[in-house]
Amino acid sequence: MSKIPGLHRIFRHPFRRHRLRSDIDAEIAFHLEMKTQKLIASGLTPEVARDEARRRFGSVTHAKAECWRIGRRRAARARAALVFDERYQDVGFALREFGRRPGFTAVAVLTLGLGIGASTAMFTVVDAVLVRPLPYHDPGRLVVARETIQGQTVYVAPRNFVEWQRRTTMFEGLAVGFEDVAEAFVLTGDDEPLDIRAARVSRDLFALLGVEPIHGRTFRPEEFEPGQDGVVVLSEGLWERRFGADEAVIGRQIVLSDRSYTVIGVMASSFEFPERGIEAWRPMALSERELQRIGHIIPYVTARLKPGVTVEQARQELQAIAAQLAEENPQRNAGWGTEMAPMLDYLVGNMRPALLVLLGAVGLVLVIAIANVSGLLLTRAIERRREMAVRRALGAGRWRLIRQLLTEGLILGLAGAVTGLSAAYGGVQLLLAFAPEGLPRMHQLAIDGGALGYAVGVTLLAVIICSLVPAWRVSGLHPVEALKATMVIAGLGRASSRMVVFGWRVLPRHVFVIAQTAMSLLLLIGAGLLIRTFAALQQVDPGFEAENVLMAKVELPHSRYPGRAHWAEFFQRLIEETEALPQVRSAGIGFPVGEGFYYPDMEIEGAAPGQPTVTGGFTTHWVTPGYFRTMGIPLLRGRTFSASDRVRDFTGQFWLDASFVAIVNEAMAKRDFPGGSPIGKLITRGTSSHRIVGVVGDVKELGLHTAAPAQVYFPFYQIPVSSVGLYLRTETDPLDQVAAVRERLWAIDADQPIELFETMDAVLAESMARQRFSMVLMAVFAALALALAAGGIFGVTSYAVARRTQEFGIRRALGARASGVFHLVLFEGLRLSLAGLAVGLVAALWLTRLIASELYGVTPTDPMTFVVVCAVLVGVALLASYVPARRATRADPMTSLRCE
Amino acid sequence: MADSYAELIGDTLDLLILKSLTWGPRHGYATAEWIDTATERALLVEEGTLYPALHRLEHQGLIEAAWGLSDHNRRARYYALSALGRRRLRAETEVWQEYAEAVGRALAWATSEAA
């Protein structure tokens, strides 16, 4: 091709239609003209010559049409080939380019992958927990109502629920489903006895939620009459596990705690009401007597608002009804209020702030990652100006260059996305492993496609924009200008895009570093505050000695153990049997952890003599004498329970026994007996009165971050209960005793299951699980951010050093000392990070209040945290600038002068 | 005479075009002139048929085309042999010569027999 004279351009493809046609016209016209001239030269007149030339040529129209046909075909094929060919070239070129700079590529891809992965994983969790609608019909209209006493939210009494149902007008319906905690359900039959969790549901529950069974049916109205309620709906899980997913189970009789039930339906595993783990539902058939007798046992009432009714309107109506009830029956309802929230808020409410903060944090990580890669690309763009200019000068069109850079950006972004997808998968597994047990709806996790798409989209966009910078800088210029510009830039540099802030020259890549540093600071401070919170929580004295204590939860079925005498006898034997174990120091019965009954009121002998007052709420525990010793709860005054604090005969009105005693905790002593001693005072609960015989230390049973509630302990042998926690203090690892304890229990009753074993250490750890979750995640995000920011500072400083090698050489040649150059570069890196620090501090002072609700024992602007974090960040910035600074001092005057 | 020649043109013209370009790039007119001269104006009766042939050869990748300046500083479309075209020409020339010799021999023999 180069042999063709007067060649215009190398890269030129006449594929456009109008070009093709005019080319053919011109070619043929040229031919005719040349022929005519030749004929004129041979002696013909111009007119004759023109005619002769046309005659010799033949049909011009036919020739043109033929050429046009061929040209079109050729153009179509060539266009396809070229597009493919150039794409192929672009991809090949991009891959070679990345292969030449493996370090750059690896850092960019990993950075993008981490950013995409972390944010997708976090968003997946947030979406699963906070955003995804509940699996019920029109869940937006579902609300949850509970009762309150003195500002504290408590369970609902069935009798009040029935009144609400009768009196409200704002709801399509109200329904309840609550676990039978008073009774254990043991599924017996052919297999080993299976302890299951069952719930009682009210008449409209299934219809109200809009859920259908996968097999069979739900309850009929008449099945809510006492005596006709021997029917049960099973969970899909239980149906599969126990009945081999056999549809024929519908209509079969099963035995639950020695009572026979007919299986009428199976609910899908997605139905988790009132909470996860419930495996059977029975009708709530309460006689009027039971209704009046049963206390506050319903965790919450579920209601569906009528269309158009707001939560606020419904809330006001329910409050008004509570006031009515209090007026009608002040003895039972005075002081009680109601509280209402959308159902989703109720289920996830306490996780919302933590999750949103973590989502914000991971968003920052993504932004930092994008900024980092953008910075890398921008730096590289400057290096590539010369390359772009040369390619442009050789005839590459502007679009061709842009397409090339676009391809590079796309490949980089896609590699990042693939890395990100695997990181997201790992991240979700990690989050699941770390998630606190109480985190609702987490088990339904699957990587969220939308979140992944969003993260990848944002990243791709940023990467592509940054990739295009070299094209934007160069391709618009005339090739020669572009080359000249490159020369200028390659020299001492009079670059154009530059801002001046407070006398500093600020380049775009500097802005990235400042932003990164600021955001890292934010995350580090967040992590620091959460770490201090966690540390503070671990310093909190829970009020008992958790080490080497094992708890086993035991529930006696009322069918085999019908009364208090049986319960007392069984558990006394259990204590004797387990205390006989060689590794067990002591044993006691108490309430299972976190299941202390909350009582709203009790009459006490107050400070004013003879004047009974009603206290605020308190929790109650029924414990054996050995409980305080086993748990390590200190006795402060008076005495603990003794063997003589027991009822021998539970027949008749035993609760009127005058020898009933109680022990209160310090919080209660301070609140209800200020200035005096509670010992010897009488407290009255319903019809039974107890004389206070001792005061013990506070136990933080509502969580380490909240104050201990008022607590009252009753002697177990005076008021035995059927569902208890057996506590054992052991010599060695408490879990070693599990098998032995089980053996002793089965020696007493081979059909009695133990619901769960737990060490008190684990209980304590679990109580901090939410804080640990927030802390670990925030720390991981902050570490990621710090590493990325350090990389950013390192990159920019190294680049500046590389660019200024000549300058450093000159400085050295003119007598500057190595230490001078070293400090110059170090200051350059430090300057950027200090600017970022300043921006970050302002933002942190303003933003940390967002996590105030997650903090304990530390203020959102904790000076210690701020100082330490700043020091860490400055240290890292210095470290990141140190290597480039060392390199700058090695600049040899002669070599660097010869560089240009 | 012209008619029977014309029937031969289809195959032969391509070969001659390739041949004409062995001395370097030419525009269409120069190619036509060369063929006229070389064949003593026996072959290319209608010069217009040359152009579809050129474009077809370009389409087949046997020749390459580009706009250039003619000796008189006029814009002209130049054609050059591609590597593929060069190989094709060599192969076709051999085949053609063998074929022409064979046909020529056969015809000469028949004529002498008849004579």
Q: How near does any CA of chain B get to the CA of A457, in Å? A: 42
Q: Do B74 and A30 touch (CB under 8 A)?
A: yes
Comparing A3 with A830, the larger pLDDT belongs to A830
Q: How near does any CA of chain A get to the CA of B57, in Å? A: 10
Q: Please tell me which residue of chain A has the smallest CA distance to B61.
A: A74
Can you tell me the mean pLDDT for A552-568?
A: 84
User: Is residue A423 domain-shared with residue A527, that is, in the same domain?
Assistant: yes
User: B9: domain CATH number?
Assistant: 1.10.10.10
Looking at residue A304, its pLDDT comes to: 94
For residue A12, the chain B residues in CB contact (below 8 A) are 66
What value of ipTM does the predicted structure carry?
0.85
- In which band, very low, low, confident or very high, does the pLDDT at B24 lie, cut at 50, 70 and 90? confident
Spatial distance between the Cα atoms of A808 and A813, rounded to a whole number of angstroms = 8
User: Domain for residue A130, yes or no?
Assistant: no
Q: How near does any CA of chain A get to the CA of B78, in Å? A: 7
Q: Please tell me which residue of chain B has the smallest CA distance to A55.
A: B46
Using CB atoms, which residue from A1, A31, A73 is nearest to B28?
A: A31
Looking at residue A895, its pLDDT comes to: 64
Q: How near does any CA of chain A get to the CA of B81, in Å? A: 9
- In which band, very low, low, confident or very high, does the pLDDT at A14 lie, cut at 50, 70 and 90? very low
Can you tell me the mean pLDDT for A443-448?
A: 68
Domain that holds residue B73: 2-114
Looking at residue A2, its pLDDT comes to: 38
- In which band, very low, low, confident or very high, does the pLDDT at A610 lie, cut at 50, 70 and 90? very low
Using CB atoms, which residue from B29, B46, B68 is nearest to A35?
A: B29
User: Domain for residue A525, yes or no?
Assistant: yes
Using CB atoms, which residue from A4, A23, A35 is nearest to B80?
A: A4
Which of A20, A30, A79 should we substitute to test contact with B (largest number of B Cβ atoms within 10 Å)?
Answer: A30
Q: Do B55 and A70 touch (CB under 8 A)?
A: yes
Long-range contacts of A160-169 (CB under 8 A, 24+ apart): A160/A322, A160/A325, A160/A333, A160/A336, A161/A202, A161/A298, A161/A301, A162/A291, A163/A321, A163/A325, A164/A301, A164/A318, A164/A321, A167/A321, A167/A324, A168/A303, A168/A314, A168/A317, A168/A318, A168/A321, A169/A317
Spatial distance between the Cα atoms of A16 and A421, rounded to a whole number of angstroms = 43
pLDDT at A191 over 90: no
Q: Percentage of chain A with pLDDT > 70?
A: 84
Tell me whether residue B54 is exposed, middle or buried, using C-beta atoms within 10 angstroms of its C-beta: 0 to 12, 13 to 18, 19 or more. buried
- How many residues are listed for chain A in this entry? 900
Q: Please tell me which residue of chain B has the smallest CA distance to A12.
A: B66
Q: What is the pLDDT of residues A402-415, one digit of tens each?
A: 777 788 888 888 88
Looking at residue A480, its pLDDT comes to: 53
pLDDT at A116 over 90: no
User: Is residue A614 domain-shared with residue A732, that is, in the same domain?
Assistant: yes
pLDDT at A181 over 70: no
User: Is residue A184 domain-shared with residue A259, that is, in the same domain?
Assistant: yes
Q: How many domains does chain A have?
A: 4
Q: How near does any CA of chain B get to the CA of A38, in Å? A: 10
Q: Please tell me which residue of chain A has the smallest CA distance to B30.
A: A31
Which of B55, B62, B69 should we substitute to test contact with A (largest number of A Cβ atoms within 10 Å)?
Answer: B55
Q: How near does any CA of chain B get to the CA of A13, in Å? A: 10
Q: Give me A419's structure tokens.
A: 């890395």
Q: Do A24 and B51 touch (CB under 8 A)?
A: yes
> Please, are residues A171 and A305 in contact by the beta-carbon 8 Å criterion?
yes
A-B contacts at Cβ under 8 angstroms: 83
Q: Give me A109's structure tokens.
A: 């891809």
Comparing A717 with A658, the larger pLDDT belongs to A717
Q: How near does any CA of chain A get to the CA of B91, in Å? A: 22
User: Is residue A389 domain-shared with residue A532, that is, in the same domain?
Assistant: yes
Tell me whether residue A560 is exposed, middle or buried, using C-beta atoms within 10 angstroms of its C-beta: 0 to 12, 13 to 18, 19 or more. middle
Using CB atoms, which residue from B29, B55, B66 is nearest to A71?
A: B55
Comparing A652 with A92, the larger pLDDT belongs to A92
Can you tell me the mean pLDDT for A629-653?
A: 87
Can you tell me the mean pLDDT for B24-49?
A: 84
Spatial distance between the Cα atoms of A834 and A190, rounded to a whole number of angstroms = 73
Q: Percentage of chain A with pLDDT > 90?
A: 16
Looking at residue A302, its pLDDT comes to: 92
User: Is residue A356 domain-shared with residue A326, that is, in the same domain?
Assistant: no
User: Domain for residue A755, yes or no?
Assistant: no
Q: Do A35 and B47 touch (CB under 8 A)?
A: yes
User: Domain for residue A889, yes or no?
Assistant: yes
Looking at residue A495, its pLDDT comes to: 41
Q: Please tell me which residue of chain B has the smallest CA distance to A74.
A: B59
Q: What is the dihedral of CA A728, A732, A734, A739, to 10 degrees?
A: -100
Q: What is the pLDDT of residues B79-95, one digit of tens each?
A: 999 888 898 889 888 88
Looking at residue A728, its pLDDT comes to: 93
Q: Please tell me which residue of chain B has the smallest CA distance to A11.
A: B66
Can you tell me the mean pLDDT for A784-807?
A: 79
Count of Cβ atoms closer than 10 Å to residue A309 Cβ? 17
Q: What is the mean pLDDT of chain A?
A: 80
Looking at residue A692, its pLDDT comes to: 92
Using CB atoms, which residue from A34, A67, A74 is nearest to B29?
A: A34
User: Is residue A732 domain-shared with residue A804, that is, in the same domain?
Assistant: no
* Chosen domain end from A334, A362, A393: A334
Q: Give me A119's structure tokens.
A: 């944010």
User: Is residue A782 domain-shared with residue A744, that is, in the same domain?
Assistant: no
Comparing A15 with A212, the larger pLDDT belongs to A212
Q: How near does any CA of chain A get to the CA of B67, in Å? A: 7
User: Is residue A309 domain-shared with residue A404, that is, in the same domain?
Assistant: no
User: Is residue A746 domain-shared with residue A773, that is, in the same domain?
Assistant: no
Q: What is the pLDDT of residues A484-499, one digit of tens each?
A: 544 444 333 334 444 4
Can you tell me the mean pLDDT for B49-71?
A: 86
Can you tell me the mean pLDDT for A735-749?
A: 87
Spatial distance between the Cα atoms of A475 and A486, rounded to a whole number of angstroms = 12
User: Domain for residue A447, yes or no?
Assistant: yes
User: Is residue A330 domain-shared with residue A386, that is, in the same domain?
Assistant: no
Q: What is the dihedral of CA B37, B40, B45, B51, to 10 degrees?
A: -30
- Give Cα separations from A149 to A272, A336, A616 (angstroms): 28, 5, 8
User: Domain for residue A809, yes or no?
Assistant: yes
Q: Do B25 and A3 touch (CB under 8 A)?
A: yes
Looking at residue A488, its pLDDT comes to: 43
Q: How near does any CA of chain B get to the CA of A66, in Å? A: 6
Looking at residue A891, its pLDDT comes to: 65
Spatial distance between the Cα atoms of A88 and A96, rounded to a whole number of angstroms = 12
Give SS3 for A586. strand
Q: Please tell me which residue of chain A has the smallest CA distance to B69.
A: A6
For residue A34, the chain B residues in CB contact (below 8 A) are 29
Q: How near does any CA of chain B get to the CA of A93, in Å? A: 26
Spatial distance between the Cα atoms of A112 and A461, rounded to a whole number of angstroms = 12
User: Is residue A596 domain-shared with residue A744, that is, in the same domain?
Assistant: yes
Which of B33, B41, B77, B79 should we substitute to test contact with A (largest number of A Cβ atoms within 10 Å)?
Answer: B77
For residue B78, the chain A residues in CB contact (below 8 A) are 4-5
Comparing A716 with A93, the larger pLDDT belongs to A716
Domain that holds residue A739: 561-750
Q: What is the pLDDT of residues A578-588, one digit of tens each?
A: 999 999 999 99
User: Domain for residue A146, yes or no?
Assistant: no
Can you give A660-683 as a three-state secondary structure string?
CEEEEEHHHHHHHCCCCCCCCCEE
* A887 HSE (CA, 13 A, CB side): 16
Q: Do B47 and A57 touch (CB under 8 A)?
A: yes
Spatial distance between the Cα atoms of B41 and B32, rounded to a whole number of angstroms = 10
Comparing A33 with A296, the larger pLDDT belongs to A33
User: Is residue A474 domain-shared with residue A396, that is, in the same domain?
Assistant: yes
Q: Please tell me which residue of chain A has the smallest CA distance to B47.
A: A57
For residue A72, the chain B residues in CB contact (below 8 A) are none
- How many residues are listed for chain B in this entry? 115
- In which band, very low, low, confident or very high, does the pLDDT at A303 lie, cut at 50, 70 and 90? very high
CA angle A586, A588, A593 (to 5 degrees): 120
Can you tell me the mean pLDDT for A239-243?
A: 87
Q: How many domains does chain B have?
A: 1
Q: Do B48 and A60 touch (CB under 8 A)?
A: yes
Looking at residue A150, its pLDDT comes to: 62
Q: What are A's interface residues with B at a Cβ cutoff of 8 A? A: 1, 3-8, 12, 23-24, 26-28, 30-31, 34-35, 56-60, 62-63, 66-67, 70-71, 73-74
Cis peptide before A274 (omega within 30 of 0): yes
Q: Give me A402's structure tokens.
A: 């842009």
Spatial distance between the Cα atoms of A713 and A762, rounded to a whole number of angstroms = 24
Q: Do A63 and B48 touch (CB under 8 A)?
A: yes
For residue B29, the chain A residues in CB contact (below 8 A) are 30-31, 34-35
Looking at residue A456, its pLDDT comes to: 78
Can you tell me the mean pLDDT for A688-702?
A: 89
* Largest pairwise CA distance in chain B: 58
Q: Do B69 and A5 touch (CB under 8 A)?
A: yes
Using CB atoms, which residue from A3, A23, A63 is nearest to B77?
A: A23
Spatial distance between the Cα atoms of A833 and A812, rounded to a whole number of angstroms = 27
Give SS3 for A589. strand
Q: What is the pLDDT of residues A56-96, one digit of tens each?
A: 888 888 888 888 888 888 777 777 766 666 667 777 777 88
Q: What are B's interface residues with A at a Cβ cutoff of 8 A? A: 24-25, 27-29, 32, 45-49, 51-52, 55-56, 58-59, 64, 66-70, 74-78, 80
Q: Please tell me which residue of chain B has the smallest CA distance to A13.
A: B66
Q: How near does any CA of chain A get to the CA of B24, in Å? A: 8
Comparing B7 with A295, the larger pLDDT belongs to A295
